[in-house]
Amino acid sequence: MAVVLRYLDKVELVKEKFVGVVHVTDTSSKTLKYSIDSLFDQHGLSMEKVRGQGYDGASNMKAFYVHCFAHQLQLVLVSVARNHTGVGNFFDMLSLVVNVVCASC
């Protein structure tokens, strides 16, 4: 599970910060809550200051879906790759290279 915090800075600009990746054994709400609480404790954060929550892909929590910056970037890349063959070919080739590297000893 990847955890990203979205907050307003001192001049009220929206910021997103990657907090960390936590291994979870399942995606039940109890397991996810425990993992988030543990991560907050590690970073000295308090759930009492949280004003809203959004979950991406956590349909079992029945939460409001919020697109984060990473998903917006992914949507842009997919759109560009579909409309420009050179970009599409680059990502196809990149995918093949990654597969070969990951499969090699």
pLDDT in tens, 28-52: 878 888 888 898 899 898 888 887 7
11: left (phi over 0), alpha (psi -120 to 50) or beta: alpha
Give the domain range for residue 77. 69-103
pLDDT under 70: residue ranges of the chain: 53-69
- Number of other CB atoms surrounding residue 16 within 10 Å: 11
Rounded Cα distance between 39 and 44, Å, is 9
Same domain, 46 and 79: no
> 3-class DSSP state for residue 16?
strand
Q: Are residues 55 and 7 in the same domain?
A: yes
Looking at the fold, whether 75 and 55 belong to one and the same domain comes out as: no
The pLDDT assigned to 41 comes to: 92
- Is the same domain home to 54 and 9? yes
Between CA 70 and CA 20 the distance in angstroms is 14
**Domain identity same for 14 and 43:** yes
User: Considering its fold, how many domains does the chain have in total?
Assistant: 2
Query: Apex CA 45: angle with CA 44 and CA 47, to 5°?
Result: 145
Per-residue confidence (pLDDT) for residue 63, from 0 to 100: 47
Q: Is 18 helix (H, G, I), strand (E, B) or coil?
A: strand
